[in-house]
């Protein structure tokens, strides 16, 4: 049963990722911008929802399924290698640095928000 | 139609990720080991399959769907934040460094293999 719930979340996550990618393509052809946006947003949401008390099944659907499927590591790596092959070492570094740096901050902010720190 | 193909790939990717996670849980409870293994494997496969000539529909199924859904950035970030909250700064750094470093190498090796460099 959990496998079906995770799979269903993964379906929606992957379709959402493809949809967001198509919307971004209208504005920029630059590698990585869309993956960056998706990964940062997903990191914030996983921080928030993994901290909030939510029903067990919904947790599998949302965290292991949807957010796991929405964000992607393989495209992140593939984008960096594309920059490196084009000898755009600076762009590769900036993309990598900000993805990690802002990803950690986004996940941390999600946790802080779920813990009600901002309400204090 | 493409949305259905991407969604189907995402379903399988997320279920595979959850399955691999369950297998790993039998051996280790350490954060990130499974995500690390999944992300490095997925990076190698995306390097390989994005370089090989494969039919258009299969590309969407495999790359945007399956590998995008299999690998995950949100859990990677969430694992790093867990280490940081436990004040395991060194573990956080090692996990982050090797995920990125070996991910780039894995994607590059996938590309090299697809280009037949190893056959020469």
Please name which of B70, B28, B48 lies closest in space to residue B115, comparing C-alpha atoms: B48
Tell whether A37 lies on the interface with B, counting CB pairs under 8 A: no
Q: Is the pLDDT of residue B63 over 80?
A: yes
Tell whether B104 lies on the interface with A, counting CB pairs under 8 A: yes
Shortest distance between the Cα of B116 and any Cα of chain A, in A, equals: 17
Residue B50: C-alpha distances to residues A61, A83, A119 (Å):
29, 15, 46
Are A72 and B71 within 8 A, CB to CB?
yes
Sorted by sequence, the CB contacts under 8 Å of residue A16 that are 6+ apart come out as A66, A70
Hey, CA dihedral for A64, A62, A40, B50, is it positive or negative? positive
pLDDT in tens, chain A (120 residues): 899 999 999 999 999 999 999 999 888 877 789 999 999 999 999 999 999 999 999 999 999 999 999 999 999 999 999 999 999 999 999 999 999 999 999 999 999 999 987 654
What residues of chain A lie within 8 A of the CB of B15, using their CB? 3, 6-7, 10
Interface of A with B in 42-71 (CB under 8 A): 42-43, 45-47, 50, 63-65, 67-71
Tell whether A32 lies on the interface with B, counting CB pairs under 8 A: no
The pLDDT of B83-97, averaged and rounded, is 94
Which helix (H) or strand (E) covers residue B47, if one does?
Answer: helix B33-51
Shortest distance between the Cα of A98 and any Cα of chain B, in A, equals: 13
Please name which of A79, A106, A103, A105 lies closest in space to residue A93, comparing C-alpha atoms: A79
Cβ proximity of B10 and B69 under 8 Å: yes
ipTM comes to 0.89
Are A111 and B10 within 8 A, CB to CB?
no
**Closest CA in chain B for residue A21:** B64
Taking the domains of chain A in order of start, what are their residue ranges? 2-119
- What integer pLDDT is reported at residue A120 of this predicted model? 46
Are A71 and B70 within 8 A, CB to CB?
no
Residue A11: C-alpha distances to residues B11, B28, B30 (Å):
5, 28, 28
Shortest distance between the Cα of B55 and any Cα of chain A, in A, equals: 18
Shortest distance between the Cα of B110 and any Cα of chain A, in A, equals: 10
What residues of chain B lie within 8 A of the CB of A11, using their CB? 7-8, 10-11, 14
């Amino acid at each position: 049963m959990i496998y079906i719930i995770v799979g269903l979340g993964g379906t929606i996550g992957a379709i959402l990722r493809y949809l967001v990618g198509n919307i971004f393509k209208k504005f920029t052809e630059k590698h990585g911008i869309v993956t960056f946006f998706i990964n940062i947003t997903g990191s914030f949401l996983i921080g928030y929802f993994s901290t909030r008390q939510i029903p067990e099944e919904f947790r599998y659907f949302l965290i292991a399924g949807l957010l796991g499927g929405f964000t992607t590591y393989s495209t992140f790596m593939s984008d960096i290698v594309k920059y490196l092959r084009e000898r755009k070492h600076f762009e590769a570094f900036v993309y990598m640095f900000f993805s990690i740096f802002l990803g950690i901050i986004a996940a941390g902010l999600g946790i802080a928000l779920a813990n009600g720190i901002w309400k204090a």
